[in-house]
Amino acid sequence: MDTTVVEILKEGSILSLVNELIVHRDLAASRGESELVQQSVETLDILQCTVKELERNVRDLEYRLAVALKDSEEKELAIEQFRRDVHLIQNKEEDLEAASKTIKTLTSDIEELRETMQEAEDARILCIKKAQARQETIFDLQVEIDDSSVAIARGADLLEAVNFLRPPFVHLPQEIVHEILTQAVCPSTFIDPVLYPGLTGSAWHIDLRTRKALSLVCKTWRSIGLALLYEAVFILRIGQIPLLRRALDSDSSRGELIKSIDVSCQVPYNSCPPHTRQELLRIFQLSPNLISVTFGVSVPLQWHEPRGSWMHFLTRFETTHSLMANSSYLVKPNAAYLVKLLESCRSLKTLNLWIEACTDEIFPPLTLNSLETLRLTTEDDKHQLKLYHAIAEAWSMPSLKNLILYEMGFEWDDGVAALRQSFFARYGSGIRYLHLKSAPHGGFGYSLHAVNADVQAMLKHCPNLEHLVLSIGNRSESEYLAPLSHLNVKWIDLWKEEFCPDASTQLQSTTPAFPKLQRMRRLDGRSDGLPAYTDWPSVFPPWTELEGSEPYRDYLYSGIIIRQTTSSIYRLDTGAGYRADMTMEDLEDPDYNSSDDSSYIQSEEESRYSFYSDDEAGEIDYDTGCLFSPEETESAQESDDELPN
């Protein structure tokens, strides 16, 4: 059926036509047009049949349309499923790409692992070869050990036989052990700790470690080692004071071992802890056997070294009252504290003071019955010599016989000379040894006439003087000594700035001005000569007997070599006469071989219990310089019973 017809039928056109035909039929009937009506009826029947046919076709079309719609829905569902399948396939393709990349990465890792395994296999083979070589070495060493064991057994049998033939070992007396160990350390006279502050490789620190090691060897050496360790205490840092005080409080017997204290530490102005005075005073009170005390450094590292305006030495502040040019650093005088410290030293024989400035013209009274040696060092300001008058007015020193005066950095004039007169008038009669030294180009070196006049005035106050030491700068001995005279002087030592170690000229030892003169010597006054910390003329007195065709004696210690001859004392390890490659072995007896010395045979017991100082568990605290920290003190007391006898 045509599509147009279907559409007409859908719109009801046929029904309209039928209705129109019926109307025409009725109209025709009414008009008598029967034929036309008959035709219309036939046409109407035909059309009715057509309508029925069309209705059947419509129903058929509707059925087909329903089927088509159903098929269309099914196809849409299929299309949607297909789309989902396509999306799923796309996702699977991305997963496949990621899996492909992972496979490539794993393949690369597998290749690297294969290479690593190959390297490990090569290393394993190499280690196996090394192990085989070491096994062979172990076998060879085992053979050597077996041979050595046989040799040791033979040696042990021989040693046992020798020990059987000689009497059993007897411990040496403590006095003999003390003398032996004393020779193993450097005398404090030869060590200036101020020259090497904080350097663990300096001569002073090496000697300090040696002394500590001796006290840790065995019980027999314990007391002797402690005596050597504590006999000379140097306080180079303010932190040592409370630590040393606590160590002495914990064991009062150690304070009895201290014979010498040198307080030479620098601190900033106004930074001294308030308890420092009491701590230092307590140390002095816990040291009843003190025979030597030093406050401040004896001489500066360099004569012309400028003084900083913000630093000072602790004992200058605490005892001798520093007064700097800047008024903001004015320190109130407190000589009473110095006197209080010295009152604790009932057996004091040597006192060394370095005076930077003296503001006290009146000192508290003090009696030092045992004091034999007094050393005063002044610098920069002649008014410091008011100290001489203050001491002479207030201090009683009936046993004083050795006087050392170091005056540096100010000119010589009548006022300076007058300041000494009361001092020498008070103590001059007992003085046997007088040492007058000045800095280069200062002190005794300005006006020779004024110097000689003042020195002669001092000599008149010292009728019993026997040993005189003077600084003559670069002048000749005869020029300097010509105006001087003394009836009882036996020995004269002269400091020379331009000292020549090779000079062998003997000084004239007879002169009418000194009728009892026996010997005259030159002293090494070079800048790198004899360290000024030590009073060398008294350490090596001129009456020392020297033997040999060219008599001399060398003193070899860590960091310094001193030679004493009949006409001089000088430092051997500096200057033109010193070889840089010279060692102490060069100065030893070439005929002596320590391997041939069988006087000492180490016993089995000694080998078992002895140990070297380098094996100590603890180290000296060089930052504070404390000989023993509180923890070491407690552990040392607890471990005394563990030391071998």
Residues 558-570 have pLDDT tens digits of: 678 888 888 889 8
Residues 144-195: pLDDT tens digits?
999 999 999 998 988 888 777 766 556 778 888 888 888 888 888 777 776 6
Q: Which of 3-7, 20-24, 143-147 has the lowest mean pLDDT?
A: 3-7
User: Which SS3 state, helix, strand or coil, does residue 366 take?
Assistant: strand
State residue 258's pLDDT score.
Answer: 92
Q: Which residues pair with 292 in a beta bridge?
A: 260, 350
Query: Percent of the chain, pLDDT > 70?
Result: 69
Joined tokens for residue 601: 């045979």
Distance (Å) of CA 239 to CA 266, 279, 314, 368, 482: 11, 11, 12, 29, 51
Same domain for 383 and 242: yes
Q: Which of 390, 325, 375, 379 is nearest to 356 (CA)?
A: 379
State residue 374's pLDDT score.
Answer: 94
Max mean pLDDT range (35-49, 197-211, 550-564):
550-564
On whether residue 223 sits in a domain, the answer given is no
* Average pLDDT score, the chain: 75
On whether residue 569 sits in a domain, the answer given is yes
Are the CB atoms for 296 and 308 separated by under 8 Å? no
Domain-terminating residue out of 571, 589, 607: 589
On whether residue 529 sits in a domain, the answer given is yes
Residue 535 has pLDDT above 50, yes or no: yes
Q: Which of 465, 452, 458 is nearest to 425 (CA)?
A: 458
Residues 227-272: pLDDT tens digits?
999 998 888 777 888 889 999 999 888 999 999 998 877 665 556 6
State residue 538's pLDDT score.
Answer: 92
On whether residue 324 sits in a domain, the answer given is yes
Residue 318 has pLDDT above 60, yes or no: no
Helix axes 13-31, 34-165, angle to 10 degrees: 170
Quick one: residue 146, left, alpha or beta (phi over 0 = left, psi -120 to 50 = alpha)?
A: alpha
Distance (Å) of CA 368 to CA 355, 420, 538: 19, 20, 21
Give residue 444's pLDDT band: very low, low, confident or very high (50, 70, 90): very low
Query: Does residue 557 or residue 206 have the better pLDDT?
Result: 206
Domain coverage including residue 245 = 232-400
Distance (Å) of CA 359 to CA 94, 295, 495: 98, 17, 31
Same domain for 382 and 254: yes
Query: Does residue 354 or residue 542 have the better pLDDT?
Result: 542
Distance (Å) of CA 429 to CA 405, 458, 460, 599: 17, 11, 9, 52
pTM above 0.75, yes or no: no
Residue 541 has pLDDT above 80, yes or no: yes
State residue 145's pLDDT score.
Answer: 92
Max mean pLDDT range (120-124, 412-416, 530-534, 606-610):
120-124
Average pLDDT value for residue range 370-398? 82
State residue 468's pLDDT score.
Answer: 94
Average pLDDT value for residue range 626-643? 48
Same domain for 248 and 396: yes
Strands 266-268 and 311-313: antiparallel
Same domain for 390 and 253: yes
Same domain for 139 and 8: yes
Q: Which of 302, 318, 402 is nearest to 352 (CA)?
A: 402
Q: Which of 53-57, 317-321, 499-503 has the lowest mean pLDDT?
A: 317-321
State residue 641's pLDDT score.
Answer: 53
Same domain for 385 and 515: no
Same domain for 468 and 386: no
Give residue 430's pLDDT band: very low, low, confident or very high (50, 70, 90): very high
Same domain for 320 and 240: yes
On whether residue 527 sits in a domain, the answer given is yes
Are the CB atoms for 354 and 296 separated by under 8 Å? yes
DSSP 608-620: HH---GGG-SS--
Are the CB atoms for 350 and 372 separated by under 8 Å? yes
Same domain for 389 and 331: yes
Q: Which of 336, 355, 341 is nearest to 293 (CA)?
A: 341
d(Cα 60, Cα 76) in Å, to the nearest integer?
Answer: 24
Q: Which of 279-293, 373-387, 444-458, 579-593 has the lowest mean pLDDT?
A: 579-593
Query: Does residue 624 or residue 241 have the better pLDDT?
Result: 241
Are the CB atoms for 272 and 278 separated by under 8 Å? no
Same domain for 575 and 457: yes
Residue 589 has pLDDT above 60, yes or no: no
Query: Percent of the chain, pLDDT > 90?
Result: 18
On whether residue 164 sits in a domain, the answer given is no
Residue 22 has pLDDT above 70, yes or no: yes
Q: Which amino acid is at 46?
A: I
Q: Torsions phi, psi of 437, nearest 5?
A: -130, 140
CA 535-419-478 angle, 5° bins: 55
Residue 434 has pLDDT above 90, yes or no: yes
Query: Does residue 29 or residue 80 have the better pLDDT?
Result: 80
Residue 404 has pLDDT above 90, yes or no: yes
Q: Which of 33-42, 85-94, 235-244 has the lowest mean pLDDT?
A: 33-42
Residue 622 has pLDDT above 90, yes or no: no
Same domain for 460 and 385: no
State residue 194's pLDDT score.
Answer: 66
Helix axes 335-343, 276-285, angle to 10 degrees: 30
Same domain for 470 and 347: no
On whether residue 161 sits in a domain, the answer given is no
Q: Which of 153-162, 308-317, 365-374, 633-642 has the lowest mean pLDDT?
A: 308-317
Residue 332 has pLDDT above 50, yes or no: no
State residue 612's pLDDT score.
Answer: 31
Residue 401 has pLDDT above 70, yes or no: yes
On whether residue 222 sits in a domain, the answer given is no
State residue 441's pLDDT score.
Answer: 41
Give residue 399's pLDDT band: very low, low, confident or very high (50, 70, 90): very high
Domain-terminating residue out of 96, 128, 145: 145
- Residue 584 DSSP label: G
Give the total number of structural domains in the chain: 3
DSSP 476-539: -HHHHHTT---SS--EEEEEESS--TT--PPPP--BTTBTT--EEEEEE-STTSS-TTS-HHHH
Max mean pLDDT range (21-35, 297-311, 359-373, 620-634):
359-373
Residue 613 has pLDDT above 90, yes or no: no
Joined tokens for residue 576: 């033109």
Q: Which residues pair with 399 in a beta bridge?
A: none
Q: What is the CA radius of gyration of the chain?
A: 57
State residue 290's pLDDT score.
Answer: 92
Joined tokens for residue 244: 């040393």
d(Cα 296, Cα 292) in Å, to the nearest integer?
Answer: 13
Q: What is the 3-state secondary structure (H, E, C) of 79-113?
A: HHHHHHHHHHHHHHHHHHHHHHHHHHHHHHHHHHH
